[in-house]
């Protein structure tokens, strides 16, 4: 593939739309600034600024498309690009670990793909080494074939059939495919209501200078005076609407979820409006976490995600990748054992000692002591009912105590803990970046300690901890990890 290639002309539209989306809020602000009276020329300056910005975005998108070329030559993927200054990027083929592809709505209309080039160097962050915004499906296959051909030539491996990974993928059965009924349960229990509400609040806060919030709140206060029933009904419909939005977004995100296993990596396909294909090399996997929120746990379901050393395959805004969005736990564990034979998932956890139970319960109550006191003072004597919240918090703390546990099996450390959802993390000793043992003065009195294990996840590390393990057991965990230096 020594012939130079260009992106599809539709990339001009995709790039321009991406840039224009970031201008929405500034444009709204400028429009309201220019909404004055009179015929002064200053009234039209905001409109002129908006027009100039839009024109610049369109022209720069065309220039970027015109100057962008890519090709494979001398065992390198070569890219030339730039707006004002022409830049060159040469990526050695042997460093390329995967090509992650996705299709947004416009990509599907024009039968195009967005390709992200993943290298070993991409593990230092979530940004890919290079990105081809819009190329044809056949061109994506040709690029994949060219890279695979160069890799085979470099390794001097002779294969009778030279087929692309796309073609191999079609011949291979899926290792795991999410059922639609499971996805419905996933969407119904996703807990994304808070995310939707906070995102809406953050968006509306950008217009606090424009929208008359004070007048709106004043009008709303008249309705609040109608009674608690009105407030409760209003809150119910707000939460219902947010849940419906969260339900739809989750279904669109995980629709057609398929997991395939290759010799050196896992391949994930998902999405309805935006179709994605992500490749996760096994050598980037740092740990495996099984997540069960209370409702899913009661129903026997869980979610499985991988902690990765980084790269564009990460979920947006997270340092992990979901490989099983919703599956029965008794089915997930045998499948994980088949995927990762070096891990042991059938473990019996050693829990926290009985003397730690009170500490778990007290910690849970401390978070709500101040709000409970304020409610009691402001709403005396009815506010005394707020004391029931302390009982609920204590029950939650006891549940966290019962959930906590650890287990060591040869070269693996497993830690289980609960925030609201139950998290069970499995880590190989050679993937643990650091292990820390700490004790507060109160823990010393009760012969307890906290163990923190850190694994690499994205640009930063992810900490997994077991709180209030007995001091003797904490020392045994620390000694187990210390043998890493002598192995």
pLDDT value of residue 35: 53
pLDDT at 272: 86
Strands 448-457 and 460-470, bridge-based pairing:
antiparallel
Residues of the chain with pLDDT under 50: 123-125, 157-171, 195-196, 202-204, 206-211, 213, 312-319, 486
Q: Is 467 helix (H, G, I), strand (E, B) or coil?
A: strand
Confidence at residue 213, expressed as pLDDT on a 0 to 100 scale: 47
Sheet with 350-351, side-by-side order of all strands: 320-328, 301-308, 285-292, 422-428, 412-418, 405-409, 350-351
pLDDT value for 460:
64
Mean pLDDT, the chain, rounded, equals 80
Q: What is the pLDDT of residue 426?
A: 96
> Of 314, 259, 257, which Cα lies nearest the Cα of 285?
314
Three-state DSSP at 203 gives helix
Annotate 43-93 with DSSP letters as a single string: GGHHHHHHHHHHHHHHHHHHHHHHH-EEEEETTEEEEEE-SSS-EEEEEEG
Q: For 76-108, how does the pLDDT look when each residue is reduced to its tens digit (9 = 90+)? A: 888 888 888 888 888 887 778 777 888 888 888
- pLDDT tens-digit map of 113-140: 888 887 766 544 456 778 888 888 888 8
- The residue assigned the tokens 């299709």 is 103
Q: For residue 124, how many other CB atoms are within 10 A of its CB? A: 12
pLDDT value of residue 85: 80
pLDDT at 165: 47
In terms of Cβ atoms closer than 10 Å to its own Cβ (0-12, 13-18, 19+), residue 95 is middle
pLDDT of residue 15: 86
pLDDT in tens, 359-382: 999 999 998 999 889 988 888 888
- The pLDDT, as a whole number, for residue 354 is 94
pLDDT given at position 1: 56
Backbone angles phi, psi at 328, to 5 degrees: -65, 135
């Amino acid at each position: 593939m020594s012939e130079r290639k260009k992106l599809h002309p539709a990339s001009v539209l995709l790039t321009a739309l991406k840039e224009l989306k970031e201008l929405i809020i500034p444009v709204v602000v400028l429009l309201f600034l220019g909404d004055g009276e009179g015929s002064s020329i200053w009234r039209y300056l905001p409109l002129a600024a908006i027009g100039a910005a839009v024109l610049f975005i369109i022209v720069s998108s065309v220039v970027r498309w015109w100057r962008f070329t890519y090709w494979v030559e001398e065992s390198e993927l070569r890219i030339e690009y730039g707006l004002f200054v022409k830049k060159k990027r040469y990526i050695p083929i042997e460093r390329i670990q995967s090509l992650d592809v996705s299709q947004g709505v416009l990509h599907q209309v024009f039968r195009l793909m967005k390709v992200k080039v993943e290298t070993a160097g991409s593990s230092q962050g979530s940004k890919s080494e290079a990105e081809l915004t819009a190329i044809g499906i056949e061109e994506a296959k040709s690029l994949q074939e060219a890279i695979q051909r160069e890799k085979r030539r470099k390794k001097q491996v002779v294969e009778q059939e030279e087929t692309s990974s796309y073609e191999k993928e079609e011949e291979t059965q899926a290792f795991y495919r999410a059922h639609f009924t499971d996805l419905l349960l996933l969407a119904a229990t996703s807990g994304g209501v808070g995310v939707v509400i906070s995102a809406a609040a953050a968006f509306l806060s950008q217009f606090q200078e424009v929208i008359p919030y004070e007048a709106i709140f004043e009008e709303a206060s008249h309705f609040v005076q109608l009674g608690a029933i009105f407030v409760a009904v209003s809150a119910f419909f707000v939460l219902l609407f947010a849940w419906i939005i969260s339900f739809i977004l989750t279904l669109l995100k995980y629709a057609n979820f398929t997991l395939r296993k290759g010799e050196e990596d896992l391949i994930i396909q998902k999405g309805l409006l935006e179709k994605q294909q992500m490749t996760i090399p096994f050598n980037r996997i740092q740990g495996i976490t099984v997540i069960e929120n209370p409702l899913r746990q009661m129903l026997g379901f869980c979610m499985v995600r991988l902690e990765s050393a980084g790269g564009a395959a990460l979920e947006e805004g997270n340092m992990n990748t979901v490989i099983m969005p919703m599956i029965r736990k008794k089915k997930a564990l045998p499948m994980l054992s088949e995927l990762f034979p070096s891990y042991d998932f059938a473990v019996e956890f050693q829990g926290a000692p009985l003397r730690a139970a009170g500490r778990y319960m007290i910690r849970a109550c401390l978070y709500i002591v101040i709000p409970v006191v304020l409610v009691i003072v402001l709403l005396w004597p009815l506010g005394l009912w707020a004391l029931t919240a302390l009982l609920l918090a204590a029950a939650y703390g006891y549940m966290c105590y019962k959930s906590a546990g650890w287990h060591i099996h040869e070269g693996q450390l497993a830690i289980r803990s609960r925030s609201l959802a139950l998290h069970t993390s499995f880590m190989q000793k050679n993937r643990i970046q650091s292990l820390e043992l700490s004790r507060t003065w109160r823990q010393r009195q009760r012969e307890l300690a906290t163990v923190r294990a850190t694994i690499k996840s994205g640009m930063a590390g992810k900490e997994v901890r077991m709180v209030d393990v007995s001091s003797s057991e904490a020392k045994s965990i620390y000694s187990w990890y210390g043998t890493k230096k002598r192995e």
